[in-house]
Amino acid sequence: MRRILSRRFLVLLLVLGASGVVFCQDMDEMWGEQVMKLKAADAERGQLFTEGNYAMFIHWGLYSHIGNHYKGKSYYGIGEWIMNGNMANIPVEEYQALAAEFNPVKFDADEIAKLAKDAGMKYIVITSKHHDGFAMYHSQVNKFNIVDATPFDRDPMKELAQACKRHGLGLGCYYSHYQDWTFPGGGNGPKQTADGRKVDFKYYYENKCRAQVEEITTQYGPIAIVWLDTPGRIPREYVEELVQIVRKNQPEALVSGRAGYELGDYQTLGDMEVPHENVEGIWETVDTINDSWAYAWYDNYWKTPEEILGRLISCVSRGGTYMLNIGPKGDGTVPELAARTLRKAGEWIKRYPQVVYGTDASPWKHALPWGDVTVKDSTLFLCIFDRPKEGELYLPGLKTKVKSARLLGEEKKKAGLKVQTKGNWTKITLPARTSEKMVPVVQVELDGQPEVDPCWGIDPALETTLLAQFADVTGAKQEKNSWMEKFGEWKHVVRVWKWEQGGRASWEVDVLKPGYYNVDLTYIGTGRIVWGVDIEGGEHIQNQQNSSHNYQKFPIGWINFPKAGRYQVSVSCIEGDLAEASLKAIHFTFVD
């Protein structure tokens, strides 16, 4: 979220800057610029990434031993930040001393690699050193590590590297190159050495960071990805040197999009961000299986297998790769429910690997009311998350001729499906029941590369949602907004707000079935708001509804599309706090 810095704030910055107070950047500002990156120059590099499409992220460290409960108090938010002022604010020495209690004897690298394999993941990226400065491998450079500072006396990254090899998985290392909260000079870390000498970032970089990146890229075999994070204010020349070290030691490895200065090999979106529109180039979404990266004792809000598949397939359908995180406990085990839901989703991927691996983005460039689409040459895989009541699957705007459609996983005789086209619409009729109970998949063979007319189709059988992100906007502000629910639990929405009188958000839609549709709006606001909905050259409806500080859906009323065809629909904010009224989406549901 790009914040407009007020004049007063600028003066404050100058005063603080002058007085040497370093202003902590917000986490999302520390992520650095997100830039589109086309396919890696040499195809080998990153094949696992571009074809695998699905991977395991592991946040595991000293913070897992704490599990967001410290000195009798629970802290809510991302567990790997427990030491930080945003959470328990644990002094450096006190935090370092905790290592003596950290002894994850139940850690089983083979079990974790097997879990990733069963889940359908192609590689694992583990936190070799996080912002707290604790290394989860046997570093010769710094004693604050799992072997020298704890009774554990084993190198878990060595064991994981061997297990990944045994299970045919790639291995990647997360390394916090800018932030180090325990090493003098580290980003947002101590400003002086134990003997009181004032030091700067150069001291940390030359005495820890650079040497550790050498270690992780030379001592653990082939590395598929070096996942640098929160570049913050790291000087450019250091990032250039780190990337060179990776190129020298691991020529086939990718460097993450959060290296800084656009020096990464691909784009890493914001935390927990699954885009709604296709994103060009090579990119990844990083997500977590509950709401915290590292283990948090209270966080049992696990994603269901269907939710995991939903976010994975959405990512692949938008053209990206999905890296889903687990946070092992302080004893080294993976929370049982996390493993269970991962395995369940993995069973589906084992049934339909062709839908996920090596597939391309949907030609519709966004989700459809019933689900989403991945593509392999002239074959479409329709993944059905929301089955229409009568089994009528509508494909708006498909221009390429359909040769055949069949349900995957059904016996031969029952697999073929009826396909009808009417104008700009294709309808595929599903049988009353499908053997696939999780996410049924329809394989559609086309007579050539898929081509789709981008106009928004209003589905006659299911609720159709049009996001504010896709609207043409006049007299209002359309912008991306990212915020944290619990600390570090990121949400991302493109909103239309700061309405002026007469301001409009418009979409061009295609209606197959004329008649009345119920209209709902999803928005945030303050107090009662009057919204208007118009069909250009047609009906205008308006209604007053209350609002809340969370995005919520409110009914506006029925609107009539008199005949099949194209329409311009628009939303306007008529009365109430127009500035704070923040529209996320409009929804149409056929009624009569």
For the bound state, the minimum distance from the C-beta of residue 76 to ligand GLC, rounded and expressed in Å, comes to: 15
466 interacts with ligand GLC by CB under 6 A: no
Q: Which stretch in 42-50, 76-84, 478-486, 534-542 sits in contact with ligand GLC by CB under 6 A?
A: 76-84
321-326 and 515-524: which strand pairing?
A: unpaired
H or E element in which residue 532 lies? strand 529-535
520 interacts with ligand GLC by CB under 6 A: no
Name which of residues 227 to 246 contact ligand GLC (CB under 6 A): 229-230
**Which residues, including other chains, have CB under 8 Å from residue 379's CB and lie 6 or more apart?**
443, 444, 445, 446
Taking CB atoms, the residue at the shortest distance from ligand GLC is 286
Backbone angles phi, psi at 489, to 5 degrees: -95, 95
Nearer to ligand GLC, 299 or 510 (CB): 299
Q: Which stretch in 77-85, 91-99, 103-111, 543-551 sits in contact with ligand GLC by CB under 6 A?
A: 77-85
Nearer to ligand GLC, 77 or 104 (CB): 77
Euclidean distance between CA atoms 156 and 98, whole angstroms: 18
Q: Which of 155, 180, 265, 271 binds ligand GLC (CB under 6 A)?
A: 271
What residue ranges in 256-391 does DSSP mark as E strands? 267-268, 283-288, 321-326, 371-376, 379-384
Q: Which of 68, 80, 503, 582 binds ligand GLC (CB under 6 A)?
A: 80
For the bound state, the minimum distance from the C-beta of residue 488 to ligand GLC, rounded and expressed in Å, comes to: 6
For the bound state, the minimum distance from the C-beta of residue 27 to ligand GLC, rounded and expressed in Å, comes to: 5
Cα–Cα separations (whole angstroms), residue 285 to 271, 319, 352? 7, 11, 21
Take residue 97 and report the two structure tokens written for it. 């001393």
Q: Which stretch in 74-82, 135-143, 300-308, 464-472 sits in contact with ligand GLC by CB under 6 A?
A: 74-82
Nearest to 536, CA basis, from 572, 573, 500: 572
H or E element in which residue 160 lies? helix 156-166
For the bound state, the minimum distance from the C-beta of residue 131 to ligand GLC, rounded and expressed in Å, comes to: 6
27 interacts with ligand GLC by CB under 6 A: yes
Q: Which of 78, 279, 324, 494 binds ligand GLC (CB under 6 A)?
A: 78
Count Cα neighbours of 134 within 13 Å in the Cβ-side half-sphere.
Answer: 27
Nearer to ligand GLC, 171 or 286 (CB): 286
Within its chain, how far is the Cα of 253 from the centroid? 21
293 interacts with ligand GLC by CB under 6 A: yes
Q: Which of 121, 173, 234, 286 binds ligand GLC (CB under 6 A)?
A: 286
Number of residues that bind ligand GLC (CB under 6 A): 10
Residue recorded with tokens 């003098």: 184
Backbone angles phi, psi at 573, to 5 degrees: -105, 115
**Which residues of this protein are in contact with ligand GLC, per CB under 6 A?**
27, 59, 78, 80-81, 229-230, 271, 286, 293
